[in-house]
């Protein structure tokens, strides 16, 4: 089985509850589309658990990007804007040993994914935190010498952002683009479920950020389940 979740934002209880619900096996694969840190209180606990799992692939979100660019001195401002909620993560990071700090930086900079293309039978998926080319090669954080070259992809800026899916040329092969970053309630207007939009050009967009960033009493964590045929067979939620 393949599982996909995103934007956990330090909500460790929800993350653990979802992991118990999906009962991830060694032969399964879990993709987490970034923003596991910030705003919530237990970001590093989630990150540590992910780092210990060989069958979990973490994507770089804009919050992990802000963490890295702060720590390497490229952007010393954005992570600490109040709305970004990075300070609580940073304060806990400072309490770690130098060895553990280096492990986190190495993991985020060398082992995270930016864009992943999944082709399973006749099902074609593009995964990223929030924007990606509609075709091409998988991209990884380590592929970029300058982290700022990833900024548009993780912040939903540019022609490959979700805003421009409707303008893509028509595709003969239907593609489902799965991302997070934007709280789904902005589109559903009434609930915190996954938002699904089909376009006449052959693309489908699934926004699976269901609002963990709003805090433990708001939103929910979602997880897609894809079977061996490539079909999405379930959307699970933890409130």
Q: Which two tokens stand for residue 74?
A: 């490229």
Cα 10 from chain centre:
13
The overall average pLDDT reported for the chain is 96
Please report the pLDDT score of residue 132 as a whole number.
83
Please report the pLDDT score of residue 159 as a whole number.
85
Return the minimum-mean-pLDDT range out of 22-36, 128-142, 216-230: 128-142
Overall pTM surpassing 0.95 (yes/no): yes
Q: How far apart are CA 188 and CA 184, in angstroms?
A: 6
* Average pLDDT for 92-106: 98
| Residue-wise burial string across 152-191, b where 16 or more C-beta atoms lie within 10 A, e elsewhere | ebbbbeeebbbeebeebeeeeeebbbbbbbbbbbeeeeee
Please report the pLDDT score of residue 163 as a whole number.
87
Q: How far apart are CA 50 and CA 42, in angstroms?
A: 13
Which of 214, 179, 210 lies closest to 38, judged by CA? Answer: 214
Asked if 224 and 184 count as a contact pair (C-beta separation under 8 A), the reply is: no
Residues in contact with 20: Cβ distance below 8 Å, sequence separation at least 6, in sequence order: none
Can you tell me which residue has the tokens 């990833």? 150
Please report the pLDDT score of residue 156 as a whole number.
93
Which of 88, 4, 76 lies closest to 43, judged by CA? Answer: 88
Helix/strand/coil for 128: strand
Residues in contact with 238: Cβ distance below 8 Å, sequence separation at least 6, in sequence order: 14, 17, 18, 21, 220, 221, 223
What domains lie within the chain, and their CATH numbers? 2-238 (3.60.21.10)
Model confidence pLDDT, tens digit, residues 112-170? 999 999 999 999 999 999 998 766 899 999 999 999 999 999 999 988 888 889 998 89
Residues in contact with 79: Cβ distance below 8 Å, sequence separation at least 6, in sequence order: 38, 66, 67, 69, 70, 86, 87, 90
Residue 172's pLDDT band (cuts 50, 70, 90): confident
Please report the pLDDT score of residue 194 as a whole number.
98
DSSP tag of 79 = G
The number of C-alpha atoms within 13 Å of 105 and in the hemisphere containing its C-beta is: 16
| Residue-wise burial string across 196-223, b where 16 or more C-beta atoms lie within 10 A, e elsewhere | beebeebbebbbbbbbbbbeeeebbbbb
Please report the pLDDT score of residue 136 as a whole number.
81
Q: Which two tokens stand for residue 59?
A: 């994507």
């Amino acid at each position: 089985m393949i599982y996909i979740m995103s934007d956990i934002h330090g909500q460790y209880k929800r993350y653990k509850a979802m992991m118990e619900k999906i009962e991830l096996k060694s032969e399964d694969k879990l993709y987490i589309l970034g923003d596991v840190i910030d705003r919530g209180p237990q970001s590093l606990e989630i990150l540590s658990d992910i780092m210990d799992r060989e069958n979990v692939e973490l994507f770089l979100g804009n919050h992990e990007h802000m963490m890295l660019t702060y720590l390497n001195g490229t952007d010393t401002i954005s992570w600490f804007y109040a709305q970004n909620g990075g300070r609580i993560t940073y304060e806990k990071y400072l309490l770690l040993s130098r060895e553990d700090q280096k492990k986190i930086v190495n993991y985020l900079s060398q082992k995270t994914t930016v864009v992943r293309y999944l082709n399973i039978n006749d099902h074609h998926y593009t995964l990223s935190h929030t924007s990606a080319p509609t075709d091409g090669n998988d991209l990884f954080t380590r592929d970029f010498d300058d982290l700022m070259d990833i900024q548009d992809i993780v912040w939903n800026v540019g022609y490959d952002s979700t805003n421009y899916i409707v303008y893509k040329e028509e595709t003969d092969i239907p593609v489902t683009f799965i991302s997070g970053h934007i709280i789904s309630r902005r589109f559903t207007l009434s609930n915190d479920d996954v938002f699904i939009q089909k376009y006449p050009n052959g693309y489908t967009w699934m926004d699976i950020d269901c609002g963990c960033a709003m805090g433990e009493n708001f939103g929910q964590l979602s997880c897609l389940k894809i079977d061996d045929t490539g079909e999405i067979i379930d959307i699970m939620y933890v409130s």
